[in-house]
Amino acid sequence: MQRPLLYTYRRCPYAMRARMALLQAGIEFDAHEISLRDKPAAMLELSPKGTVPVMLLPDGRVIDESLDIMRWALEASDEGGWWQRAQAASCRVLVDINDGPFKQLLDRYKYPERHPSGEGQAFHRAEAVKCLLIALDHALGRQAFLGGDEPCAADIAIFPFVRQFRAVDEAWFDAQGFHALQRWLRGWLESELFERCMKKPAKAPAANPP
């Protein structure tokens, strides 16, 4: 095996951030798109916890946390300083909030039917705004990206989750007046990096065409 193999799921925000980091670092990799309902035995053998992304390196090492994959990719090739800028305390705090409380609230907002007891969808949406989105909007009102004037790993670590949050109710999100956050989100949605990360793998030609 010459290239890393990434077990991935196209719409998973954790897998998106890993793919974006690999692409940004210019690392060629093979992607194995999985079904979350029917995970490949080979992937579970490498990482029994059963989450994507999982990356198998040519030397046999396995990395099965998205932030670790990002670090591995960007440390290997970080001419643009994407990993280094994301180590600022302000960026690390935002990524921690994103992966912790914000993700929990996002799940409750996105899948209210899975959390029938307790507070309702609007409550979790409002809490998610207080928990992360206001801080993001303030940070992005001062500078173009989370780590300064240039993009960094914190931007691509958080962007897929904000995208998912907006997708629950785009009209509501767009009416909230998060101008800086919306500008940043739009920039990433329209970026070449995101387009490449979402490209469906070309179907292999049939071995015996009809």
Ligand X SMILES: N[C@@H](CCC(=O)N[C@@H](CS)C(=O)NCC(=O)O)C(=O)O
List contacts with ligand X (CB under 6 A): 9, 12, 14, 36, 50-53, 65-67
Q: Which is nearer to ligand X, 52 or 106 (CB)?
A: 52
* Closer residue to ligand X, CB minimum distance, 53 or 112: 53
> Does residue 151 contact residue 19 with C-beta atoms inside 8 Å?
no
CB of 62 to ligand X, least distance (A): 12
Report whether 4 contacts 30 (CB < 8 A).
yes
CB of 36 to ligand X, least distance (A): 4
Give CA separation, 123 vs 118, 144, 148, 166, in Å. 10, 30, 32, 16
Nearer to ligand X, 67 or 135 (CB): 67
Q: How far is CA 32 from the centre of its chain?
A: 17
Choose between 36 and 167: whose C-beta lies nearer to ligand X: 36
The tokens describing 16, both together, are 């998106």
Q: How far is the CB of 198 from ligand X (least distance, A)?
A: 14
Between 55 and 140, whose beta carbon lies closer to ligand X? 55
Is the Cβ–Cβ distance between 98 and 47 less than 8 Å? no
* Min dist. Cβ of residue 207 to ligand X (A): 31
DSSP, residue by residue, 115-156: --SSS-HHHHHHHHIIIIIHHHHHHHHHSSBTTBSS--HHHH
Q: How far is the CB of 141 from ligand X (least distance, A)?
A: 28
- What beta strand segments (E) does 40-114 contain? 54-56, 62-63
C-alpha span between 63 and 53 (Å, rounded): 8
